[in-house]
Amino acid sequence: MDFQLTDEQLAVQQAARDFAKKELLPGVIERDRNMIYPTDQVKQMCEMGFMGMMVSPDYGGGGMDTLSYVLALEELSKIDASAAVIMSVNNSLVCWGIDKYGTHEQKTKYLPKLTSGEWLGAFCLSEPEAGSDATSQHTTAIDHGDHYIVNGTKNWITNGGKASLHVVMAQSHSELRHRGINTLIIEKSWPGVSIGAKEDKLGIRASDTHSIMYNDVKVSKENRIGPDGFGFKYAMSTLDGGRIGIAAQALGIAAGAYELALRYAQERETFGKPIMHHQTIAFKLADMATEIEAARLLVYRAARIKDLGLDYSSIAAMAKLYASEVAMKHTVEAVQIHGGYGYVKEYHVERLMRDAKITQIYEGTSEIQRLVISRAILNGELYQPVSALWQ
């Protein structure tokens, strides 16, 4: 295993770090408090090439590897997890899937708009009654020869109010269950598309989350991604990569909270010395540093395995599971280290703690990640016992 980052990866990491400090940090508390979408910052992220990092340069993307994408997301998430999820959904759940499975016409028509920032994308899988159980789609896409008519409601859609393009999963042949689902590209401006009220969330409050309603929306078959009935596999395959992105977001949130807690512990004095010199605090920081580094190795490894073209479904689930649990646990610890200061908004750690929670929920809850991992173990895809050892 090679643990050295390339010059290009280091440059992406540094650019993201500088951008986060200079452009995301000012106003991040205000945006969180008042649910203000970071319009100017997203525009700058587009100019930096952060909105279509892994897309082929033929379609306006950066042609970068997954590890570079992860490094950028980690840095942004240390300061502003809302900006990070806007970027993550556009990259992993929208651009990557169209680039991988779309037709040349779909890529030519849509990817340059999505990578340049002219358009933002949303991934529309979840429904009021289909979250973890993603196969039970109630949204329908009825076949009318050369087009579909789409009806249904999607819930908790990141970028929901801002996105001009929706990647929508809908059931076309309910008797076939998940094999009857299609994925369609729908434009927000089309008749029958309407956007619900903005969600008032616990965390990532500057990101734009809505329900979306489709009422007799006519969608040409040219806008179906992949063959008839490929939609569920499309969603699962896209989410495998998305989970690496959310794992990187969780890692960044944890690392940001750790950096704040460390600085505070070195400055804050009690009983005549910095609290870092009290073992109760020092050991907390030791655990934080160790577990965050372990999460980092898992997240980078998932990215590397994807870049090598190997099967990354299980390692992506492991990375998301572990990094999000670490983020939740250690943002709580960062608040604890800050004491009363941690409980007020200006010290950032309470915001990071609220932001951490969603990483255990979206793009597959921690329970779903455990399901994916345990099924891989049962299927013999992971960690087979070396039989000779025990016989």
Residue 153 contacts ligand CAA per CB under 6 A: no
Asked if 123 interacts with ligand CAA (CB under 6 A), we say: yes
Task: Look up residue 69 and give its two tokens.
Answer: 């994408």
The answer to whether 208 contacts ligand CAA (rule: CB under 6 A) is no
110: contact with ligand CAA by CB under 6 A: no
Residue (197 or 388) nearer to ligand CAA, CB: 197
Name the 3-class secondary structure at 204. coil
| 3 state DSSP class of 126 | coil
Which residue is listed with tokens 């651009």?
95
DSSP secondary structure, 214-245, as one string: EEEEEEEGGGB-SSTT-HHHHHHHHHHHHHHH
Which secondary structure element, helix H or strand E, spans residue 319, and what is its range?
Answer: helix 313-338
Per CB under 6 A, the list member of 170, 362, 373, 376 interacting with ligand CAA is 362
Residue pointed to by tokens 């007020």 = 344
Our finding on whether 19 is near ligand CAA (CB under 6 A) is no
Considering beta carbons, is residue 9 or 137 the nearer one to ligand CAA? 137
Bridging pattern class, strands 165-171 and 121-124: parallel
Query: Of these, 14, 132, 174, 215, which contacts ligand CAA (CB under 6 A)?
Result: 132
Instruction: Report if residue 364 touches ligand CAA, rule: CB under 6 A.
Output: yes
For ligand CAA, the binding residue among 236, 262, 282, 289 (CB under 6 A) is 236
Q: Is 370 in the site for ligand CAA (CB under 6 A)?
A: no
**Residue 89 interacts with ligand CAA (CB under 6 A): yes or no:** yes
Q: Which two tokens stand for residue 367?
A: 């329970």
User: Of 187, 267, 363, 381, which residue is the catalytic one?
Assistant: 363
Residue 363 appears among annotated catalytic residues: yes
Please provide the DSSP assignment of 30-88 as one string.
HHHHHT---HHHHHHHHHTT-SSTTS-GGGT-----HHHHHHHHHHHHHH-HHHHHHHH
Pick the binder of ligand CAA from 125, 150, 305, 315 (CB under 6 A): 125
Does position 239 bind ligand CAA by CB under 6 A? yes
CA–CA distance, 259 with 280 (Å, rounded to integer): 17
CA distance 219 to 230: 16
Give the nearer residue to ligand CAA in terms of CB position, either 157 or 265. Answer: 157
Six-digit token pair at 269?
A: 């004095």
Contact 356, 324 (CB under 8 A): yes
Residue count of the chain: 391
Residue closer to ligand CAA (CB basis): 15 or 236: 236
* Strand 209-220 versus strand 181-187 pairing type: unpaired
CB of 293 to ligand CAA, least distance (A): 26
285 part of the interface to ligand CAA, by CB under 6 A: no
SS3 140: strand
**305 interacts with ligand CAA by CB under 6 A:** no
Question: Measured from the CB atom, is 262 or 361 closer to ligand CAA?
Answer: 361
Residues from 160 through 199 that contact ligand CAA (CB under 6 A): 178-179
CB of 227 to ligand CAA, least distance (A): 12
Nearest distance, CB of residue 187 and ligand CAA, angstroms: 18
DSSP 247-307: HHHHHHHHHHHHHHHHHHHHH-EETTEEGGGSHHHHHHHHHHHHHHHHHHHHHHHHHHHHH
Six-digit token pair at 88? 């993550």
Contact status: 350 vs ligand CAA (CB under 6 A): no
Q: Which is nearer to ligand CAA, 10 or 176 (CB)?
A: 176
Is position 135 an interface residue for ligand CAA (rule: CB under 6 A)? Answer: yes
Interface with ligand CAA, residue 204, by CB under 6 A: no
Taking residues 311 to 330 in sequence order and writing x for each that binds ligand CAA by CB under 6 A, - otherwise, the string is --x-----------------
- Burial of residue 34 (number of CB atoms within 10 Å: 0-12, 13-18, 19+): exposed
Q: What would the two tokens of residue 137 be?
A: 């789609």
Q: Candidates 164-172, 198-206, 218-226, 363-371 — which segment interacts with ligand CAA by CB under 6 A?
A: 363-371
* 244 near ligand CAA, rule: CB under 6 A: no
First CA to last CA distance, the chain: 31
Q: How far is Cα 95 from Cα 98, in angstroms, rounded to an integer?
A: 5
Annotated active-site positions, please?
A: 363
Instruction: List residues near ligand CAA by CB under 6 A.
Output: 89, 93, 123, 125-126, 132, 134-135, 157-158, 178-179, 232-233, 236-237, 239-240, 313, 362-364, 368, 371-372
